[in-house]
Amino acid sequence: MAGPGGGHTPCARRRRAHRAHTLTARSYPQRQGKGYVLCQGVSSHPVQDESCLVCNAAERIVLGRLLQDAGLVAAVDAVLCEEDFCTARHRLIYRCIGSVAAKHLATDPLLVYDAALSHGGTEGIGVMGYLAELAAGADRAADVRRYAELVRDKAIARRLVSALDGALRDAMNPQGKGVCELLAGAEARLAEVRRAHDLRHHAGTDVRGILQDIVARAGQQQGQSPSRAQRVTGLPTGFDELDDMTLGLQSGELVVIAGRPSMGKTALLMNIVEHVAISEKLQVLVFSMEMTSGQLVTRIVSSAGMIRQRSIWAGGLDGRELSNLAESARVVGEARILIDDRINLSPTDVRTSIVRMSELHGKISLVAIDYIQLMVSANCAGNRYAEVSDISRSLKNISRELSVPVVAISQLNRGLEQRANKRPVMSDLRESGAIEQDADLILFIYRDEVYNPHTKDKGVAEIIVGKHRNGPTGSIRLNYLGEYMKFLTPARPKEDG
């Protein structure tokens, strides 16, 4: 006998018998024209064959088996949720079964019907006989998980139809939106369906494979002193002390660079971008909402060639600097750096751009964002704290989903200006405590000369590792050459002898 998706399954055998029940006027209003059915709440466009969107027989088998055996509830609940059932009647029954099972009671029709009474929804189930019919009609040999997966997949198909229908409605009634905005909206709708699909199909990770890798790697390194390249398991930043502490920028992690104005946040971010793209020869995508792509590229060229940025803009370069500029432009031009300098981007825009750029140009190894507080969130418009929290959580989700390090700049509150010690701490992160919670690594920049022009630490920057989810915190010192927008590792003093 064929499996749940085949032509000889109960779905196929019983579809005709159950069509009158499935396609009630309330659940599936008929459209004009033979063979066209509209699934309520799914799409305003006709579907030639409703079986591509719902398998009523599979829903009945799942519910029937649960009414027979409460021990199956946990397995089905790992696959399905209430909204996956197409009819209100079946959603109510599934909810009531879960309610009864949570009390460690048998999920027989009588107890489920009593639960429906307490929910005030027996009119959705109808007579007690329907529950008894479900329990009696389900084959006890049926693989309930396979039928649950079929119900889930039909639900995802309905969500896909709904997303496409929404995109079609937007395109036909754009209300002033440009084609790029319409495309972004369509991609966002599809991305939501994809996320739901991936979440529902994820079966968990068997830790045995991970443990084998850990033990094997440790065995290979036994008795050895690993090199820095071996120790740094993520992307190198170009700053050895920082890499020693953090082991590099890890895939799936959100890294935040934070500081007050003029500390060099963008310079540090772009120095990391420069190293990953030029030295590591990997592709980087930069989202620049504060500066244009031209301004950003000028910074990169200035840093890479050690050319005064002001002279690039104002002119007056000498022969040596012109030669350096030409060579720096050649090197940067060969690097794989992509820039998206649109303003007011949402996390959905960022995700869509990463996916699109990956399809066009290949794997993105690092995502850089300048900066969080210039992003917007459609989910929490009007509440800035909630908006920044949503942005922060979304960026973390993007890094995990796409398995790429995301390095984002964040501003700090003005409150630290009132303190004697102006070195940043976690509570200084601006507009949201969620950044502290979501970030895996937080790097604060502090340059004493910004506040104390006559400090002995002129040209020195402290990079404070304020949070490190998987390692130590602390600080390192770098030299900062502002005219070149360049951070450098200080030269180590020569040892005597």
Q: For residue 290, give the CATH number of its domain.
A: 3.40.50.300
Query: Has residue 45 got a pLDDT over 60?
Result: no
pLDDT band at 2 (very low <50, low <70, confident <90, very high): very low
Helices (H), 71-121: 73-77, 88-102, 109-119
The model's confidence at residue 9, banded by pLDDT at 50, 70 and 90, is very low
User: Residues 378-389: what's their mean pLDDT?
Assistant: 76
Q: Which residue has the higher pLDDT, 202 or 341?
A: 341
Q: Does the pLDDT at position 188 exceed 50?
A: yes
Which string of b and e fits 106-141 if b means at least 16 CB within 10 Å?
ebbbebbbebbeeeebbebbeeeebbeebbeebeee
The pLDDT of residue 271 is: 95
Parent domain of 45: 10-201
What average pLDDT does range 264-287 have in this prediction?
94
Domain end call among 156, 184, 201: 201
Model pLDDT, residue 356 = 87
> Total structural domains in the chain?
2
Q: Are residues 195 and 86 in the same domain?
A: yes
Q: Based on the domain organization, do 170 and 281 belong to the same domain?
A: no
The CA-based dihedral angle spanning residues 120, 123, 127, 128, taken in that order and rounded to the nearest 10 degrees: -30
**Residue 211 lies inside a defined structural domain of this protein:** no
* More confident call, 442 vs 206: 442
Final residue belonging to a domain, choices 201, 218, 241: 201
- Give the domain CATH number at 188: 1.10.860.10
Same domain, 122 and 249: no
- For the chain, the distance separating the N- and C-terminal CA atoms, rounded to the nearest angstrom, is 84
| Of 20-34, 137-151, 187-201, 335-349, the least confident | 20-34
For every residue of 283-333, which 3-state class applies, written as one string? CEEEEECCCCHHHHHHHHHHHHHCCCHHHHHHCCCCHHHHHHHHHHHHHHH
Average pLDDT, the chain: 80
In a domain, 222, yes or no: no
Question: DSSP code of 5?
Answer: T
Q: Are residues 428 and 353 in the same domain?
A: yes
User: Is 356 inside any structural domain?
Assistant: yes
pLDDT of residue 493 exceeding 70, the answer is no
Taking the mean position of all CA atoms in its chain, how far away is CA 211? Answer: 26
Q: How confident is the model at residue 308 (pLDDT cuts 50, 70, 90)?
A: confident
For the segment 26-35, what is each residue's pLDDT rounded down to a tens digit?
A: 333 333 333 3
Same domain, 188 and 233: no
Position 80 pLDDT exceeds 60: yes
pLDDT in tens, 405-425: 999 999 888 888 888 888 988
pLDDT digits (tens, 9 = 90+) for 257-273: 999 888 999 999 999 99
Domain boundary (182, 201, 220) is at 201
Higher-pLDDT residue of 342, 140: 342
- Identify whether residues 34 and 137 lie together within a single domain: yes
Q: What angle do CA 450, 453, 458 make, to 5 degrees?
A: 80
For 250-259, write each residue's pLDDT tens digit.
Answer: 999 999 999 9
Separation in Å, CA 201 to CA 8, 155, 253: 25, 13, 23
**Does 383 reside within a domain?**
yes
User: In terms of domains, do 363 and 406 share one?
Assistant: yes
For the ranges 3-12, 39-48, 211-220, 413-422, which has the lowest average pLDDT?
A: 3-12
Mean pLDDT of 7-25: 37
User: Of 211-215, 372-376, 398-402, which range is least confident?
Assistant: 211-215
pLDDT at 125 over 70: no
pTM summary value: 0.65
Whether the CB-CB separation of 460 and 477 falls below 8 Å is answered with yes
Could you tell me if 184 and 270 lie in one domain? no
Same domain (yes/no): 280, 396: yes
The verdict on 44 and 181 lying in the same domain is: yes
What kind and span of H or E run contains 445? strand 441-446
d(CA 50, CA 43): 12
Is 209 a domain residue? no
Choice between 188 and 249, residue whose per-residue pLDDT is larger? 249
**Does residue 3 fall inside a structural domain?**
no
For residue 241, the SS3 value is helix
Mean pLDDT to the nearest integer, 63-79: 86
Same structural domain, 176 and 325: no
CA distance 147 to 429: 49
83 falls within a domain: yes
Residue 257 and residue 187 share a domain: no
Q: What percent of the chain has pLDDT over 70?
A: 79
pLDDT digit string, tens, across residues 192-247: 887 777 666 655 555 666 666 667 766 666 555 555 566 788 999 999 999 999 99
Residue 229: per-residue pLDDT: 60
Give the integer Cα–Cα distance in Å for 370 and 187: 23
The Cα–Cα gap between 361 and 33 comes to 46
Q: Would you say residue 19 lies in a domain?
A: yes
